[in-house]
Structure 1
Amino acid sequence: MRSIGEMARDSGLGVSALRFYDRAGVLVPARVDPVSGYRWYAPGQLGEARLLARLRRAGMPLADVRLVLAGWSGADTDLVRGLLEAHLRRLERDLADARGAFSAVREMLDQRESPMTVPARTDAVRLSVPAGGLRAALDAVRFAVGRDPELPMLTGVLFDAEGGEGGEGGGLRVVATDRYRMAVARTAAAGHEGPRAQVLVPAPLVDAMRALLSGDETVHLGVEGDRVTLWAGDSQAAGERLAHDFPDYRRLVRLPAGRRAEVDVAAFREALADGPVRAGEAGEEAGGAQELSVLHVTDDGAVTVCGEGDEEGDVVAVDRGFLLDALAAAGRDRLLLEFGAHTAPLAVRRTDDEDTFSLLMPVRLDG
């Protein structure tokens, strides 16, 4: 017999996914301890679990997965082959539709200027920034930097310098996103009198800059051509900017106002850590199978973590690890969670700073 942890390790399905498939009646353990509720799986169930993992990875609907597993256990090869071929035909139709849609989008893209933000590479920029402000801003966004080598434009932090008259009144925004989450922060800056200037700084250089920001003095940020430099006293961190376009974050963060609920961060983190989780699916960078927290705002403004079957009204499901990261990066004892529609991002905001926030994309609940 395999424990649920051993089955998760050997099958490629997460523990939360195995619990979900048990509750859904798709892969029921051979024995459940009546006292502890611990699940145990028979040796023959490992093959079914691996098959289940592959079918879900291929995007097969749960209703069809049930039938495939039933046919598999009953040696009904005709049923299994028929379901696999039907799903493959669906995938091929969907791929053909997607190719057609992408072809149309490319034609539209050719007819207009790219909406991506492309910083001018010839203008020199020099900013003076409080070390403490830049340190706090980088700490608030670093967790959201992407790591997918297929999307190099997301593997850095965008530095967006706002111009100010006479070198005063401007600011510096820093932005990071990996598609599943986005973080934005702002700090005061002086010295840049021209139009908005943007530079995409690679993550290793961002970390080198952050290491120099230990004090509260004023530091200086310079961009000349493709080279980015931060001077902090007698030390400096310098390197090449990323030669990629960063998405227009200003468009992405324009969201309809949602319902806000204030949370005590320590208590909410404890509720997330100890509360129920659900299984969900996301892209490879987000880890494939995910542990999700399903959140609901009660009529009196409290945020609850829902178990399966406990949902009342509108709920939003987000990656629990991503949410814990966002709470830690916000750096406050109390925060505002802003809920829109269940398909809209969940916003994590400071109570005292509207310019620093993060957005977490909702995740489809499995099944």
Structure 2
Amino acid sequence: MPNSELMPIGVFAQRSGLTSSALRFYADSGLLPPAEVDPVTGYRYYDADQLARATALRQLREIAMPLAAVESVLDAEAEEAARLLDEHVAKIVGDAAAALQKAGVIKSVLGANVPSLLIATLKGPVLADAVERVLTATAHEPGMAVLAGLHIEASHEAITLTATDRYRLSTRTLVPPEPPAQTWAGTVNGDDLRAAVAEVRRSARVRIEAVPHGIWLRMPEREDRHCRLLSEDFPDHRLMFASLGEATTRATVSKDLLLRALEEHPGERIALHVGDHGVNVRSADDEHPGIPLPATVTGEDLQIRFEMTTLYPAVSTAIGPDVMLDLRGYDRPVTIRSADRGDLTTLAMPVKFDHSA
């Protein structure tokens, strides 16, 4: 007779989340044999100590892990099991990304009878550099796929690339040798663009063509790359720029010196004290001594605070040796741009704090 503390297969199935048929399969495959089998009736019984293994087995199968890999994970030490899990998930993510890319290409091919629209022809290295810099202002947020995209707008004069993660907004304007014949706007999958950047950089010229559901990057002597369009509406960044107002304080500072000060600062939040004597990079709580930087400053003295993860990438992607900070108050977005080139502009949101403190 079975031990009274053992569970029949039906009870164990309910507690583990596995069906009775699945338990029989895993028993026959050696992954989860029952604790006892009645020699007369053939009934299978399980011990409570087997629940953890059964639950882990179910969860691993739910993420489509093959049986052989499941066995390796269940029998491995914690560190090795984590490594095997990471490898499996990375493969799933890679396969999914490849499938999405191929699906986009297939959609484009299926709509081949629809003529493509030439957006612009640009120098490959220039386009690659612009895409990489602007894409630093993207983020992967659940339910907000558009924040991971690059918004492209073609006017009759130029091409504008824009991205935002809600804390930063970066935009760059490129003027092609021949102005676009038509206007066009769309938000392109940022991951697709990142995957294409290396090839774009090696191509002397890149034709950007719009098709249903995406764009093609046409490169002579290289494989053309397809990038999907995102269906969500891009945030109204033009309205944001229009509502900024005039700067009340302007500081021009060496990009390298400012980056070095940010790198040396120990805190996750920093405060910029901007005044007649330059820019002082201090701790947000004033516990650490500041790092004074020479700067040309006009306007009112101001103290403003930032998350390091917001300010540093905004400064690091600026073009040229000096950056210009246009400030409008301690709780207003700051415009960060090159001191001598205006084709790359970034807005950085400060951290709000009690200004009277």
Is residue 297 of structure 1 aligned with residue 284 of structure 2? no
3-state secondary structure, aligned to 1:344: coil
Contact 2:131-2:161 at 8 Å conserved across structures: yes
Counterpart pick for 2:198 among 207, 211, 221 = 211
Task: State the Cα distance separating 1:331 from its structure 2 match.
Answer: 3.7
Counterpart pick for 1:347 among 309, 316, 335 = 335
Aligned to 2:32: none
Task: State the Cα distance separating 1:272 from its structure 2 match.
Answer: 1.7
Counterpart pick for 2:154 among 149, 153, 161 = 161
Contact 1:292-1:320 at 8 Å conserved across structures: yes
Task: State the Cα distance separating 1:213 from its structure 2 match.
Answer: 2.3
Contact 1:160-1:198 at 8 Å conserved across structures: yes
Counterpart pick for 2:245 among 232, 256, 259 = 256
Mapped to 2, the partners of 1:355 and 1:317 lie a distance apart of 26
How do 1:52-71 residues align onto structure 2 when only pairs under 5 Å count?
none
Aligned to 2:185: 198
Contact 2:146-2:234 at 8 Å conserved across structures: yes
Contact 2:134-2:162 at 8 Å conserved across structures: yes
3-state secondary structure, aligned to 2:200: coil
Mapped to 2, the partners of 1:309 and 1:227 lie a distance apart of 49
Q: Which whole-Å deviations, capped at 9, do the CAs of 1:69-106 have from their partners, x for residues lacking one? A: xxxxxxxxxxxxxxxxxxxxxxxxxxxxxxxxxxxxxx
Contact 2:158-2:179 at 8 Å conserved across structures: no
Aligned to 1:143: 136
Mapped to 1, the partners of 2:116 and 2:204 lie a distance apart of 26
Mapped to 1, the partners of 2:194 and 2:286 lie a distance apart of 43
Closer, same or farther: CA 158–122 of 1 in aligned 2, 3 Å: farther
Contact 2:328-2:334 at 8 Å conserved across structures: yes
- The aligned amino acid for 1:297 is V
Q: Which whole-Å deviations, capped at 9, do the CAs of 1:1-53 have from their partners, x for residues lacking one? A: xxxxxxxxxxxxxxxxxxxxxxxxxxxxxxxxxxxxxxxxxxxxxxxxxxxxx
Task: State the Cα distance separating 1:133 from its structure 2 match.
Answer: 2.3
- The aligned amino acid for 2:328 is G
Q: Which has the larger radius of gyration?
A: 2
Closer, same or farther: CA 223–358 of 1 in aligned 2, 3 Å: same
Aligned to 1:24: none
How do 1:72-83 residues align onto structure 2 when only pairs under 5 Å count?
none
* 129-138 vs 207-216, greater mean Cα deviation: 207-216
Task: State the Cα distance separating 1:153 from its structure 2 match.
Answer: 1.8
Task: State the Cα distance separating 1:276 from its structure 2 match.
Answer: 5.9
Contact 1:144-1:182 at 8 Å conserved across structures: yes
How do 1:19-30 residues align onto structure 2 when only pairs under 5 Å count?
none
- The aligned amino acid for 2:130 is A
Aligned to 2:80: none
Q: Which has the higher contact order (CA 8 A, sep 6+)?
A: 1
Closer, same or farther: CA 221–249 of 1 in aligned 2, 3 Å: same
Task: State the Cα distance separating 1:309 from its structure 2 match.
Answer: 4.7
- The aligned amino acid for 2:311 is L
3-state secondary structure, aligned to 2:201: coil
Closer, same or farther: CA 271–240 of 1 in aligned 2, 3 Å: closer
Contact 2:275-2:302 at 8 Å conserved across structures: no
Give the superposed CA RMSD.
Answer: 2.5
Counterpart pick for 1:328 among 286, 308, 316 = 316
> Percent identity at matched positions?
23
Closer, same or farther: CA 249–304 of 1 in aligned 2, 3 Å: same
3-state secondary structure, aligned to 2:238: helix
Aligned to 2:166: 179
Contact 2:310-2:349 at 8 Å conserved across structures: no
3-state secondary structure, aligned to 1:364: coil
Task: State the Cα distance separating 1:140 from its structure 2 match.
Answer: 2.0
Mapped to 2, the partners of 1:341 and 1:315 lie a distance apart of 8
Q: TM-score, normalised by structure 2?
A: 0.58
Contact 1:221-1:228 at 8 Å conserved across structures: yes
Contact 2:169-2:347 at 8 Å conserved across structures: yes
Is residue 227 of structure 1 aligned with residue 214 of structure 2? yes
Closer, same or farther: CA 122–199 of 1 in aligned 2, 3 Å: farther
Is residue 272 of structure 1 aligned with residue 262 of structure 2? yes
